[in-house]
């Protein structure tokens, strides 16, 4: 029995030998098509199965060996092509050389094992963890061996030997170890291929050199840059062979210095000028390489073409210089705050605009601190004492949105502060002095008010003129209709005024009209009442929210105050200047009445007052039924 175990151990060694041979020798086929590699894999596994059978233990025409593990591995990793090749080679040996009564059953078991290996691979790929698929594959030889032995025992009477189960278990172990070893190597190979592809296809110049500065490995970019088709053509060369004259010696010496000192050369910039005068910038990093024992074995380097970046940097510098020149020359102050409210840039004009807090407005200062300095110095008007922090927070919040604010400073100057947020969350602040503009604006407002006053005022009496009266009457009538409150109109006429002008002259007549206007204005005391010169010697008053009785009372007060002035008038019945007054009132039932109709009613009442003897007040009545108020 001991010699049998020696044979089985030798079988196990054969499996390990052929698996290791394939793993370490398959690189020879890396440049060949994939199907070539699968044919070769199947052939190696088939020869391994033959070697296993050479060391098999023959018992009653049956061979006990580990060939099924190699056949299963061929089907699992190589697919139908490798599995078929392995089975053909192993079956040819089993049938043609060994023979025996169990030869057909052996070929069947190998074929079945190849199919099972391929099926397990297809069924578990990308669906279960790799360890699970290895377990399923490893159990296949056990099942096939035991089932086949039981079948042969039942059909042809092949005796069951004590070796059946140990051999089946060894097949399981050999399959599991082989699958694990190949899978592990494939992971390493895949990582190596990724690194190799990244190295070869990198757009940067990547290379590895020996201790004497000769190229040991280069990528495609390096090879193409120096005019070689393949990286292998550069191996063994140095910069002395590739770079002309002094430059090659300088590169060589710099690398040797790195190797001697052990210190890396990082981001060294070099500019190359071609025959046409065009400049190309390169950025190079070179580091010494050490093995596991810490021994210096060479040098690794990366050189990057940074021409575009250098030109962009130069253009950015030029643009920044031009921008600084512009910002230094403009009259406005310019500042840039980041998304956190930190001042990142400001020109001198910005700082000069705020003389009391100039020192606080420096890059790195926070907007809140700047505003607190403004409040403490009293630089800006309108900051409520005791609420400085709240004011600072409120102003700082304006950085988040576009805004324009006019700020009055302590010295009477006005600044326009415009804030514009940017896409990255920063805020651009532009400060313009608008003191002259504010002064001009104030002057224009004064002039506008004066013009408005002139446009709505009678030049002789200072009362509202006819145009402004018409507009006021229309507005008050609309308001009266909405509110339902009464509205009264007084229409006054100076008695015998033509005679007055004839006797005393027009200048005296103007003075008399001014006295009448002053008396009317004095009689009207409420802010909403309007007194106006209607034309010539006629005056009018609009009395909102005033009933007929109230209007009659006010009119009577005006009449009496005018008469009390005792302005001499020889052409008048009373011997002094007097006035006749008509009163008309808009009440709730007169909703359809127009402004013109209301004035017409007042005129009718005025006519009635004159017809009744002048120097009196009458209210409008239908069919001219006027009555005097006692």
Catalytic residues: 537
How far is the C-alpha of 438 from the C-alpha of 413, rounded, in Å? 9
Bridge partners of residue 581, in order along the sequence: 492, 617
| Cβ–Cβ under 8 Å, residues 175 and 69 | yes
| Structural tokens at position 539 | 């005056």
402 Cβ partners below 8 Å, 6+ apart? 419, 420, 421
Q: How many CB atoms lie within 10 A of CB 135?
A: 16
| Structural tokens at position 284 | 């190079």
DSSP character at residue 429: E
626 Cβ partners below 8 Å, 6+ apart? 605, 608, 609, 612, 618, 619, 620
How far is the C-alpha of 123 from the C-alpha of 231, rounded, in Å? 41
| Structural tokens at position 182 | 């190949």
H or E, element range at 334: strand 333-337
Beta strands in 347-387 (DSSP E): none
Task: Tell whether the torsion through CA atoms of 521, 524, 525 and 528 is positive or negative.
Answer: negative
How far is the C-alpha of 348 from the C-alpha of 361, rounded, in Å? 10
In which residue are the tokens 């004259």 written? 245
Burial of residue 260 (CB within 10 Å: 0-12, 13-18, 19+) is: exposed
How far is the C-alpha of 544 from the C-alpha of 528, rounded, in Å? 7
| Cβ–Cβ under 8 Å, residues 272 and 282 | yes
DSSP character at residue 95: I
Tell me if residue 294 falls in helix, strand or coil.
Answer: coil
Tell me if residue 77 falls in helix, strand or coil.
Answer: helix
How far is the C-alpha of 598 from the C-alpha of 618, rounded, in Å? 15
Burial of residue 31 (CB within 10 Å: 0-12, 13-18, 19+) is: exposed
Widest Cα–Cα separation across the chain: 170
Task: Tell whether the torsion through CA atoms of 224, 226, 232 and 233 is positive or negative.
Answer: positive
H or E, element range at 185: helix 164-201
213 Cβ partners below 8 Å, 6+ apart? 238, 239, 252, 255, 256, 259, 299
| Structural tokens at position 159 | 């005796």
| Cβ–Cβ under 8 Å, residues 17 and 25 | no
How far is the C-alpha of 253 from the C-alpha of 221, rounded, in Å? 23
CA 225 to chain centre: 40
| Cβ–Cβ under 8 Å, residues 286 and 301 | yes
296-305 and 205-209 strand pairing = antiparallel
| Cβ–Cβ under 8 Å, residues 587 and 465 | no
Q: Which of 474, 597, 488 is nearest to 545 (CA)?
A: 488
């Amino acid at each position: 029995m001991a010699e049998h175990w020696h044979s089985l151990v030798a079988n196990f060694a054969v499996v390990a030998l052929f698996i290791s041979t394939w793993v370490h020798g398959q690189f020879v086929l890396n440049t060949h098509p994939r199907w070539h590699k699968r044919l070769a894999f199947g052939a190696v596994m088939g020869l391994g199965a033959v070697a296993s059978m050479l060391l098999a233990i023959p018992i009653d025409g049956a061979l006990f060996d580990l060939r099924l593990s190699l056949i299963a591995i061929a089907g699992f990793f190589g697919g139908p092509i490798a599995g078929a090749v392995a089975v053909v080679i192993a079956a040819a040996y089993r049938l043609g050389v060994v023979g025996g009564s169990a030869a057909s059953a052996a070929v069947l078991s190998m074929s079945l094992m190849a199919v099972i290996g391929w099926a397990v691979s297809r069924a578990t790929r990308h669906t279960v963890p790799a360890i699970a698929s290895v377990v399923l594959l490893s159990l296949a030889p056990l099942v096939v061996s035991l089932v086949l032995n039981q079948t042969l025992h039942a059909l042809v009477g092949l005796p069951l030997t004590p070796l059946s189960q140990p051999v089946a278990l060894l097949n399981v172990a050999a399959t599991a170890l082989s699958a694990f070893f190949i899978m592990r190597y494939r992971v390493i190979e895949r990582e190596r291929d990724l690194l190799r592809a990244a190295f070869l296809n990198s757009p940067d110049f990547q290379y590895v050199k020996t201790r004497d500065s000769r190229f040991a490995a280069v990528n495609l970019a390096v090879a193409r840059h120096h005019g070689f088709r393949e990286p292998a053509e550069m191996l063994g060369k140095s910069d002395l062979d590739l770079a002309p004259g002094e430059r090659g010696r300088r590169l060589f010496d710099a690398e040797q210095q790195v190797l001697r000192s052990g210190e890396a050369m990082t981001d060294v910039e070099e500019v190359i000028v071609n025959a046409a005068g065009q400049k190309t910038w390169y950025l190079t990093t070179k580091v010494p390489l050490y093995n596991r024992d810490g021994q210096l074995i060479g040098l690794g380097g990366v050189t990057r073409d940074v021409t575009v970046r250098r030109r962009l940097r130069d253009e950015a510098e030029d643009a920044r210089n031009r921008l600084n020149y512009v910002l230094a020359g403009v009259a406005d102050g310019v500042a840039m705050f980041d998304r956190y409210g930190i001042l990142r840039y400001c020109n001198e004009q910005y700082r000069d605009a705020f003389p009391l807090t100039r020192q606080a407005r420096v890059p790195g200062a926070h907007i809140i601190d700047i505003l607190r300095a403004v409040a403490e110095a009293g630089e800006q008007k309108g900051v409520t004492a005791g609420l400085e922090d709240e004011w600072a927070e409120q102003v700082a919040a304006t950085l988040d949105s576009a805004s324009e604010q006019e700020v009055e400073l302590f010295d009477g100057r006005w600044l326009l502060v415009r804030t514009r947020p940017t896409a990255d969350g920063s805020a651009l602040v532009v400060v313009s002095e608008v003191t002259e503009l504010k002064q001009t604006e104030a002057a224009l407002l004064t002039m506008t008010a004066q013009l408005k006053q002139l446009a709505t005022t009678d030049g002789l009496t200072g009362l509202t003129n006819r145009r402004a009266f018409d507009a006021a009457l229309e507005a008050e009538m609309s308001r009266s209709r909405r509110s339902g409150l009464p509205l009264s109109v007084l229409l006054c006429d100076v008695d015998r005024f033509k005679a007055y002008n004839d006797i005393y002259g027009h200048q005296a007549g103007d003075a008399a009209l001014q006295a009448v206007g002053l008396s009317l204005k004095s009689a009207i005391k409420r802010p909403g009442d309007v007194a106006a010169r209607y034309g010539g010697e006629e005056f009018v008053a609009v009395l909102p929210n005033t009933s007929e009785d109230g209007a009659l009372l006010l009119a009577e007060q005006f009449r009496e105050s005018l008469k009390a002035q005792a302005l001499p008038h020889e052409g008048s019945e009373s011997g002094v200047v007097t006035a006749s007054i008509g009163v008309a009132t808009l009440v709730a039932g007169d909703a359809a009445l127009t402004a013109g109709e209301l004035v017409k009613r007042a005129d009718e009442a005025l006519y009635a007052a004159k017809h009744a003897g002048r120097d009196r007040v009458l209210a409008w009545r239908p069919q001219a039924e006027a009555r005097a108020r006692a």
